[in-house]
Structure 1
C-alpha cells in the first residue's frame, strides 16, 4: 500500500459546489444521501445473500428476480454517491463506515428459508421507502429539486420490487406439496 497520501477532501466534509446550492443546505442533503447510500449497500448485500442461497421449486425465478433487484439497488447507490459528490460531499465508501451510518439492520449470517428471507427483504425495503419519502421532502424543502426527482425515481423502483416480493409471499402457488398418505 502506498504510504504517501494527498487528501483532496476529508470524509464528512461538504465543500462549495457548482450546483449553487448553499453549503448549509447541501450538508443536510449530503447527510441524508449518505444514509441512503449506506442503507442501499446493506440491502444490496442481503439481497445478494438470498440470491446465493435460494432453493426450492421456484429457485430459478426467485434467483433471477433477486439478481435484478440487487443490480437495481447497486445502480441506485452509484447514482446517490455521484449526486452527493456533486453537492460537494464525500460518499461513504468503506464497509465500516457504511455499516455505521446505515439506518437499517441486516439479518444475521444464517441461511433461512426463502419465505423468511423475502419477508426480511420486504421489511428492509419498507424502512428504506419511508426514509426516501422523508429525504425527498427534505431535498425539495431545501430547494434541491434534482435530488428530490432522483430519489422519487429510485423510490418508484424500490416500491415496485417491494410489491413483487409481496406477491411472492402470497399463499397462492402453482407448487403442490405431496400429500402424506
Structure 2
C-alpha cells in the first residue's frame, strides 16, 4: 500500500466536501491560541502544513500573517489558491523551503497520516524549516495507540491513520522539539480525543 498516493487520491475526491466555512468551536480555540503565541511585530511567517482547503490559512492571513499553505492533494491546493493564498503541492517528508524559513508552523490533523516509522524524520524536516525559537503547533487525534487503515472511513480510498496515547506522543515529539504545552480535548461519543501540542525549536 502506498500511503501517500492513497491519501492524495482520497483528499482529491473529497476536496469540495471538505471546503466548508463552518469550523467546530474547539478548533477555533486551538487556532487562536497558536496565533497568540506569535508576536505579529516580529513573527509574521506561518507555514500551514497539510492546509486542506485553506480555511485556517485564510483566517491567519486575514489577521496579518504571511501564510504559506502546502498540501499533498492538488485539489486542496487549488482550493487554497482560490482563496487568495500562496499554496503549493508538497510532501511534508521533503519540504522545498530553506532552513529557518518560518516563525510558526501550524499542522492540524495532518501528521496523523504519517506512519509511525516515519514520524521522527518528518518532525526533523519540520524542525529544519522552523526558525530558532519558532512555534510548531501539532494537532492530532489520539488517546490510544493504533496504526493502519481506518476501516470505517467513509472516504474512498480509505485513509491511513496513526494514533498515539499521551505518553507515547510526548516521548516522540520531545526527541526533536522542546515540549511547551500538551492539551487534551475530549470528543463527545468518541474513543479518540484531540491532542493540541505546542512545540518550540
TM-score, normalised relative to structure 1:
0.27
Specify which structure has the higher proportion of helix. 1
Task: Say which structure, 1 or 2, has more relative contact order (CA 8 Å, 6+ apart).
Answer: 1
Q: Greater Rg, structure 1 or structure 2?
A: 1
Specify which structure has the higher proportion of strand. 2
TM-score, normalised relative to structure 2:
0.25
